[in-house]
Structure 1
Amino acid sequence: MKKWYSGEWSFKIIVLSIKPNNEPQNHCRNGHQPGDQYICGYACPGGFCSKSMLKSFPLMEAVRSGGNLRNLGGCQENIIEFDCPDGIVKFRLEAIKQSQ
């Protein structure tokens, strides 16, 4: 694969918790565990849950287009927490501006 575009933003996704008791083997079908971290730009990070990517991608696009994640419920301009579509895993998305 040859990338032709260097994005302005990268994203760190951190697994905060697994409901109900942080036991991923019993609840998270993808096997996420608290503390797991994923770094990505535009592409889906390897090993990350595809269903959760459906929720995180619009958040990433909001940042890429100049938006403020506070307007979407974030605690800071470039940080937001969200649950996976199944309501089992809680993630934190952090947008990181790349120096160019």
Structure 2
Amino acid sequence: MTRSTYSVIFLIFFVSLFFLNIASGVAQRAILRDTEPLVLMIESLISASPAILVFCFAYFCMTRRLRDCGQSPNKAWFILIPLFNICYCVYLCFPRSKHCSV
């Protein structure tokens, strides 16, 4: 995955994560009020959506970008470390691709 593609996807990921965290907070507060099983299941899925988004971003985007940079795809696990994860994701926007001759 090239720098520009990763940078655009990272920006979309970051904005999406912001809004999903807001929706997750609202859903977690609603879980305490509702008793309907179907509503509780939907609210629980909304609450889990930020974690699912982070996992998908790490698996599909970060691993490809790390491979493209010539680094180990296992470094995508750094996304689980609070505060360091954002810095590392931003760092991956800058290194050149190893297969590119420019």
TM bracket, shorter-chain basis: under 0.3
Q: Give the structure-2-normalised TM-score.
A: 0.26
Q: Give the structure-1-normalised TM-score.
A: 0.26
Larger radius of gyration: 2
